[in-house]
Amino acid sequence: MSTRTLISGGLVVTASDELHADVLVEDGRVAALAAHGSAAAGAWTADRTIDATGKYVIPGGVDAHTHMELPFGGTSASDTFETGTRAAAWGGTTTIVDFAVQSVGRSLREGLDTWYAKADGNCAVDYAFHMILSDVNERTLKEMDHLVGEGVTSFKLFMAYPGVFYSDDGQILRAMQRGAANGGLIMMHAENGIAIDVLVEQALARGETDPRHHGEVRKVLLEAEATHRAIQLARVAGAPLYVVHVSAEEAVAELAAARDKGLPVFGETCPQYLFLSTDNLEEPDFQGAKYVCSTPLRPREHQAALWRGLRTNDLQVVSTDHCPFCFRGQKELGRGDFSKIPNGLPGVENRMDLLHQAVLDGHISRRRWIEIACATPARMFGLYPQKGTIAPGSDADIVLYDPHAEQVISAETHHMNVDYSAYEGRRITGRVDTVLSRGELVIDQREYTGRAGHGAFVPRSTCQYL
């Protein structure tokens, strides 16, 4: 049976427009938009009307970088697909793109099937996958073609983590060449992991074991060098490149220089690099471990370059790199040796709110908020206009956002399955009120009405910027 929902009286904000418009949703998709109070909108009939007066009506967020249930650092990320996608919905994100992992010696197929099984039937909102390549060889290069064919169209490679996910330059070049041929987008973790491991060993030998040393050994220059090298390898391969979790001003400069040459090079940063800094890594009593991630948090001076990069489009996307580990029992694995602290921060629930605060703080415009958090990640990863906008034919992934509500971020009230918040005590103006995923209410006026299993796998086309 056909169901029609009318979202009435809100300010519809997309990456391109701000309109006082009513939105008609039919059978899980946006059917039409019309000016509020117009004859066209007045003629619509609906089974249900949602009053959006005083609220923004925005596309559901697209978080293109999450790690639910990732086995990493001797433990596993604490959010399952069930808890992580529920938290995403609470935070106004209605699509995640998670990283399936190929283990060394195993096929891409096996890794991807493991991720399908983890997510299937458990998600509150829609999901897609990238594939982490840990073992580039003739067989896995061929498998890349099959994955692109089934809608897994992007592949993460690591210049960091030797012995775990690391690929050497030859493997990276081969994967880029394959991506250039099959349309797959290479996503790069750009840090010189070989050099970093030398510095880790030397720091530990000097007795420098605290979390802050994680930031000190993972040097800005080693992010910048790897970013530069990745760009040159992509040029040689004739491939586009997307650099993940950019944190250093010098890395942004490498991306900007490449883009000034007209190269198809893209960059993502994350809220932790925009809002946190090495000051957090220095928190006493091992509390700094809560902020250990890679690339690491940088001195706060880098934040201005990241905001500038987002404004000038040298950086295009803000994703979370959501990879939560509880402080108790997980981050604590690294007491006495910072290199054993599992790398990663929680954030899938906080991204839309933090970026809305950035609008209020004057860092970005309201439409740029939607562009970097919804529309561009959707386009970058072949999901647009199904996801990332509110337009006739789009999935009705819609958030009613109250721009005046006040909230204080806290582990006491968040929905992520992790025992601390990286943003504990931070005051934010703006809050998600209601969330629809394909027309179904998942959050209804701050009450969870969703269900595990509503979220479906979304096959993606290739990057839409090429």
**Which residues are at the interface with ligand URP (CB under 6 A)?**
67, 189, 245, 293-294, 321, 323, 343-344
Least spacing, CB of residue 65 vs Zn ion, in Å: 5
Task: Decide if residue 63 touches Zn ion (CB under 5 A).
Answer: no
Task: Decide if residue 189 touches Zn ion (CB under 5 A).
Answer: yes
Q: Which does 293 bind (CB under 5 to 8 A by kind): Zn ion, ligand URP, none?
A: ligand URP
Q: Are 416 and 423 in contact (CB under 8 A)?
A: no
Q: Are 333 and 340 in contact (CB under 8 A)?
A: yes
Residues near Zn ion (CB under 5 A), total: 2
Q: How far apart are CA 60 and CA 460, in angstroms?
A: 17
C-alpha distances (whole Å) from 194 to each of 132, 159, 327, 345 are 19, 8, 28, 23
Q: Are 120 and 69 in contact (CB under 8 A)?
A: no
Residue closer to Zn ion (CB basis): 13 or 243? 243
Least spacing, CB of residue 109 vs ligand URP, in Å: 22
Residue closer to ligand URP (CB basis): 145 or 168? 168
* Beta-ladder partners of 96: 63, 127
Least spacing, CB of residue 413 vs Zn ion, in Å: 25
Residue closer to Zn ion (CB basis): 157 or 305? 157
Task: Decide if residue 321 touches Zn ion (CB under 5 A).
Answer: yes
C-beta atoms surrounding 462 within 10 Å: 18
Residue closer to ligand URP (CB basis): 4 or 340? 340
Least spacing, CB of residue 269 vs ligand URP, in Å: 12
Least spacing, CB of residue 147 vs Zn ion, in Å: 18
Residue closer to ligand URP (CB basis): 67 or 460? 67
Residue closer to ligand URP (CB basis): 325 or 401? 325
Q: How far apart are CA 168 and CA 159, in angstroms?
A: 7
Calculate Rg over the CA atoms of the chain: 21
- Mind giving me the DSSP string for 136-172? --HHHHHHHHHHHHTT--EEEEESS-TTTTB--HHHH
Any idea what the Cα angle at residue 3 is, between residues 9 and 90, rounded to 5°? Answer: 60
Least spacing, CB of residue 356 vs ligand URP, in Å: 24
Which residues contact Zn ion (rule: CB under 5 A)? Answer: 189, 321
